[in-house]
């Protein structure tokens, strides 16, 4: 017997329709790449998304066609999210920090028909265009006054003129909620990038879950500023969540340095933000140096890479901002787990509570997870056993876009994350490593993340990475690679190594320390350990 409820597919256009109708005057503030701050509202964005949809119809865009974006977090990028997906096409957000060869591969693999880009990326796009012949038209995301006088770009036009030619009279099509809505390629460090193709249904379910109290906990009183880029897993779903709950949206554009962020947060009364640890380290340092405190910011999500407990501690105790540590991946839309306490943990010691909050957290309803050993058998939830982390759920990828080996991404319905983790009795998951980064010493595993977290708590350490280097007896031993904080140039390897005493098992202690000026990062700001391993491939331990 079927239930007798209305059948309304979960479609992305419905989110902005809701925001325009019930939060129409709520603001979207955006720092523009061409300079200045832009103010609009959900009602205006809704009209402009419909103008875009009319433009796509005029340009012959059909359901399922891919439309690419190379853009910062701005109001125009927000409008594109809705105009593209709402009309049935696929919004393909591209990470402009990738190498040209990767960008060319991605654009050609996705077969993008139109490509929207910010003024910042004009020089980049001029290199890409001759290598991406399928792109029929390149659209500069600005007004006609910023169009270059001459350009070789095929059918170059500007965003504002494209919109100006259309009315906002548009009926969003209704289609199956499993229709593809957006596409994001994971920045493979060794293999070619792979496309994760989200659906309207997965996106809406993910947004509902992200808004829950133990996740992002956002509502109509919030002022949300996603610092995580809209080209990195849909800015963790915030461009959908904010209009869904009617929160004011503050988009930082290209201004991701600490001074610009702090100014924007204060001027726009931002209450909630989200981003990777590197960004928050920069902001923390700036707040310390200038002895400033946030007026309204109350909560931040840190994810995308392990959040060192020292960072969590500093934000909570010095800046009085609650940090929530979250784990996820492009393949999980991205939200999988968030660290918040349960009621029965209220009586735990402050240290025990902090330990739980420093973990990657508990699975949200919608994400099921387990850890398995090398034999594929499930491991106990004792906080000790660690193994490969497997997940499944309605916003977890079942396959990659255009995969040459379809059906191989999952095993018995579970997606292998490539992360190694423990799960404790209360359900808190801790990532100990990427499976490729775990250090195998004498047949036992050492967590590089744990060693990095400990090092980051030392005042002399600006950034730390731990990799395994070859060892004749143990096969691999940990090497700590450190960027020193200014003023700490005199710190010695011995001093740093003694900092581990009593904090980790003695056999976990790195064998050596190397000081470098900077560490290599991926295009999404994570440590690029493949590069480090190459750099130190012939490292001779004393």
**Mask of contacts with ligand AMP, 230-269, x by CB under 6 A?**
---x------------------------------------
Judge whether 186 counts as a catalytic residue.
yes
Does residue 303 interact with ligand AMP by CB under 6 A? yes
Does residue 304 interact with ligand AMP by CB under 6 A? yes
Count CB-CB contacts under 10 A for residue 128: 23
- CA 63, CA 404: separation in Å to the nearest integer? 23
Choices 54-62, 212-220, 327-335, 440-448; region in contact with ligand AMP by CB under 6 A: 327-335
- CA 398, CA 428: separation in Å to the nearest integer? 25
Choices 9-17, 83-91, 145-153, 414-422; region in contact with ligand AMP by CB under 6 A: 414-422
C-beta closer to ligand AMP: residue 187 or 340: 187
**Span between the terminal Cα atoms of the chain, in Å:** 72
- CA 133, CA 112: separation in Å to the nearest integer? 10
Q: Looking at 13, 122, 279, 305, which residue binds ligand AMP (CB under 6 A)?
A: 305
Catalytic residue among 79, 166, 331, 452: 331
C-beta closer to ligand AMP: residue 255 or 303: 303
- CA 123, CA 369: separation in Å to the nearest integer? 44
Does residue 434 interact with ligand AMP by CB under 6 A? yes
- CA 462, CA 465: separation in Å to the nearest integer? 11
Q: Looking at 431, 461, 467, 528, which residue binds ligand AMP (CB under 6 A)?
A: 431
Does residue 448 interact with ligand AMP by CB under 6 A? no
Does residue 330 interact with ligand AMP by CB under 6 A? yes
Residue 443: C-alpha distances to residues 439, 477, 503 (Å): 9, 11, 22
Q: Is residue 127 within 8 Å of 152, Cβ to Cβ? A: no
Number of residues that bind ligand AMP (CB under 6 A): 22
Residue 387's nearest CA partner among 362, 417, 408, 357 is 417
Judge whether 332 counts as a catalytic residue.
no
Catalytic residue among 160, 278, 445, 514: 445
Does residue 325 interact with ligand AMP by CB under 6 A? yes
Tokens of 134: 């399928």
The answer to whether the Cα torsion of 500, 502, 504, 509 is positive or negative is: positive
Kind and range of the H or E run holding 196? strand 194-199
Judge whether 331 counts as a catalytic residue.
yes
Judge whether 142 counts as a catalytic residue.
no
Q: Looking at 306, 397, 456, 479, which residue binds ligand AMP (CB under 6 A)?
A: 306
C-beta closer to ligand AMP: residue 313 or 488: 313
* Shortest reach from residue 302's CB to ligand AMP, in Å: 7
For the chain, give the number of residues.
542
Does residue 329 interact with ligand AMP by CB under 6 A? yes
**Mask of contacts with ligand AMP, 348-387, x by CB under 6 A?**
------------x---------------------------
Question: String of b and e for 512-525 (b: at least 16 CB within 10 Å)?
Answer: bbbeeeebebbbbb
Residue 74's nearest CA partner among 202, 344, 256 is 256
Choices 24-32, 89-97, 150-158, 301-309; region in contact with ligand AMP by CB under 6 A: 301-309
Tokens of 459: 């005042």
Catalytic residue among 21, 342, 436, 440: 440
Residue 514's nearest CA partner among 369, 538, 506 is 538
Active site residues per annotation: 186, 331, 440, 445
Q: Which residues bind ligand AMP (CB under 6 A)?
A: 186-187, 233, 303-307, 325-330, 334, 360, 417-419, 431, 434, 524
């Amino acid at each position: 017997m079927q239930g007798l409820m209305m059948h309304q597919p979960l479609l992305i256009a419905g989110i902005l329709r809701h925001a325009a109708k019930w939060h129409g005057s709520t603001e979207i503030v955006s720092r523009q790449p061409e300079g200045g701050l832009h103010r609009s509202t959900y009602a205006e964005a809704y009209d402009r998304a419909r103008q875009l949809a009319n433009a796509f119809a005029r340009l012959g865009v059909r359901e399922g066609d891919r439309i690419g974006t190379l853009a910062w977090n701005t109001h125009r990028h927000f409008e594109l999210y809705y105009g593209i997906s709402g009309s049935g096409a696929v919004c393909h957000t591209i990470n402009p920090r990738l190498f040209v060869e990767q960008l060319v591969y991605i654009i050609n693999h996705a077969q993008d028909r139109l490509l929207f880009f910010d003024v910042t990326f004009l020089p980049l796009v001029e290199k890409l265009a001759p290598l991406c012949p399928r792109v029929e038209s390149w659209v500069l995301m600005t007004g006609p006054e910023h169009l270059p006088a001459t350009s070789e770009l095929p059918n170059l036009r500007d965003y504002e003129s494209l919109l100006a030619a259309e009315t906002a009279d548009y009926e969003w099509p209704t289609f199956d909620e499993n229709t593809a809505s957006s596409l994001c390629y994971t920045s493979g460090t060794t293999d070619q990038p792979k496309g994760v193709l989200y659906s309207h249904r997965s996106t809406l379910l993910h947004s509902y879950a992200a808004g829950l109290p133990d996740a992002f906990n956002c509502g109509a009183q919030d002022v949300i500023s996603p610092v995580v880029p809209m080209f990195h897993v849909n800015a963790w779903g915030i461009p959908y969540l904010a209009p869904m709950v009617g929160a004011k949206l503050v988009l930082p554009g290209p201004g991701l340095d600490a001074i610009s962020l702090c100014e924007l947060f204060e001027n726009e009364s931002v209450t909630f933000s989200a981003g990777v640890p590197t960004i928050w380290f920069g902001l923390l340092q700036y707040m310390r140096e200038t002895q400033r405190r946030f007026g309204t910011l109350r909560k931040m999500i840190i994810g995308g890479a392990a959040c060192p407990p020292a960072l969590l501690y500093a934000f909570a105790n010095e800046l009085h901002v609650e940090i929530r540590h979250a784990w996820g991946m492009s393949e999980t839309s991205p939200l999988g787990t968030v660290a918040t306490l349960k009621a029965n943990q209220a009586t735990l010691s402050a240290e025990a509570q902090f330990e739980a909050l420093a973990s990657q957290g508990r699975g949200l309803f919608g994400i099921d997870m387990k850890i398995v050993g090398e034999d594929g058998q499930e491991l106990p939830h004792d906080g000790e056993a660690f193994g490969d982390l497997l997940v499944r759920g309605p916003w977890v990828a079942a396959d990659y876009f255009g995969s040459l080996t379809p059906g191989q991404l999952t095993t018995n319905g579970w997606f292998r994350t490539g992360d190694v983790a423990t799960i404790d009795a209360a359900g808190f998951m801790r990532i100990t490593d990427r499976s490729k980064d775990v250090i195998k010493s004498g047949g036992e595993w050492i967590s590089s993340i744990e060693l990095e977290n400990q090092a980051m708590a030392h005042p002399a350490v600006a950034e730390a990475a731990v990799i395994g280097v070859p060892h004749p007896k143990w096969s691999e031993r940990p090497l700590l690679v450190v960027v020193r904080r200014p003023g700490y140039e005199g710190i010695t390897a011995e001093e740093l190594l003694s900092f581990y005493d009593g904090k980790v098992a003695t056999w976990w202690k790195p064998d050596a320390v190397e000081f470098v000026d900077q560490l290599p990062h991926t295009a999404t700001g994570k440590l690029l350990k493949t590069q480090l391993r190459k750099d130190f491939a012939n490292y001779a331990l004393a």
